[in-house]
Structure 1
Amino acid sequence: MYIIAGLGNPTKEYAGTRHNVGFAVIDKLADEYNISMDIKKHKAICGKGVIAGQKVVLVKPQTFMNLSGESLREVIDFYKEDIDKMLVIFDDISLDVGKLRLRPMGSAGGHNGIKSIIANLGTDQFKRIKFGVGDKPRGYDLANWVLGRFSKEQQEVVNEGLANACKAVETILLDGIEVGMNKYN
């Protein structure tokens, strides 16, 4: 079983923010594959289903971004799944809006949600899809930037990025992370 987690912040006030693109990808996957996000446990909202012939659990941690690792630790322990079967999707300010970068592992790169996951799991050896939200403008506060919303002009690019992220998940499940990196990076 594959654990696919999208990072974000719970509550309606954060819906649609740059920091919540991980949640947006999970929502799009759930819609496309008819997966009901109706399981509330592991400090998360989860849904079980099948994507590309693989059993999956979609996960939206409800711990707030900086504590995402607490939720994913519970999910990994409950399903007794290997870390190699986990994929995390999250925002990245170093990428242009809507661009993807797939990685088989790596450091947190300053992302507090990823720092929490690494601290709680004791490893950085998990697959990830970084979703570009654009760099903050000069003089802008980083927290205000990532908790802000995309402009109307950016939304079309974001929608295209969400579709590509779903295809990238399918590719990873079918062909592996290396094939996904070659196709989407």
Structure 2
Amino acid sequence: MSDKYMIVGLGNPGAHYQKTRHNIGFMVVDRMVSQFDTDLKKGRGNCEIAHLDITGNSAFVVKPLAFMNNSGVVVARLLKYYNIDLSRLLVIYDEVELPFGRLRIRKKGGSGGHNGINSIIDYIKTKEFARLRIGIGTEYAKKDMTKFVLSNFSRNEQQKLDQMLAKSVNAVLSFVREGVDKTMTIYNKASI
């Protein structure tokens, strides 16, 4: 295998949060693991992890089991343990500023107020890592944001969720196979 990648899906552990908007990162990791016909296992630190071969590249897909706001400690430890270059880290998370189903890949940047990303930036001491932001809807302005992100998807959204997860997995695979620039070109304009 040539290069090592780490793909981190953010979410909160526990059945109560399993199907919430905030757990879209976990959902993408679960979908990838299923697609590669493998299982997540207890990993170093507080996480579940699977090792995938993506076109000859070694990829560790990770679900940090610390709550969202503490994801950084898990990510920092795993990056160090597996000696993963930051250019090969992709973090997948929910984005309330994007319409449902819209994807945005960024090479670097701030947290945009997302506590999971804040935690990662704090622990790895840089904003220089790629992210896959997945639009979970912008209706939070009508509700309390916390309540919104911790709510389940609407019935209409649930009917489109499978398609959104498939598109998100394809974006992750493109990141590993083609690099962040080409992936941005392909997926930043797409929506379901």
2:136 pairs with one of 108, 116, 133: 133
Higher mean C-alpha displacement, 36-45 vs 96-105 = 36-45
Query: TM-score when scaled to structure 2?
Result: 0.93
Identity of aligned residues (%): 36
The aligned residue for residue 97 of structure 1 is 100
The aligned residue for residue 52 of structure 2 is 49
| Residue 138 to residue 128, structure 1, CA distance change in 2 (3 Å) | closer
The aligned residue for residue 107 of structure 1 is 110
Does the alignment pair 1:167 with 2:170?
A: yes
By how many angstroms is 1:72 displaced?
Answer: 0.2
Q: Please list, as runs of the form range in 1=range in 2, the aligned pairs for 1:65-104 lying within 5 A after superposition.
A: 65-104=68-107
- Which contiguous aligned blocks of 4+ residues in structure 1 show a shift greater than 4 angstroms? none
The aligned residue for residue 4 of structure 1 is 7
In the aligned structure 2, how far is the partner of 1:3 from the partner of 1:23?
14
Q: Which runs of 5+ in 2 are unaligned?
A: none
How well do the aligned residues superpose, as a CA RMSD in angstroms? 1.1
The aligned residue for residue 154 of structure 1 is 157
In the aligned structure 2, how far is the partner of 1:11 from the partner of 1:73?
22
Deviations 1:70-112 (A, max 9, x none): 1101111111211111110000001111111011111100100
AA partner of residue 165 (structure 2): L
Q: Please list, as runs of the form range in 1=range in 2, the aligned pairs for 1:14-33 lying within 5 A after superposition.
A: 14-33=17-36
Aligned pair count? 185
Query: TM-score when scaled to structure 1?
Result: 0.96
Q: Which runs of 5+ in 1 are unaligned?
A: none
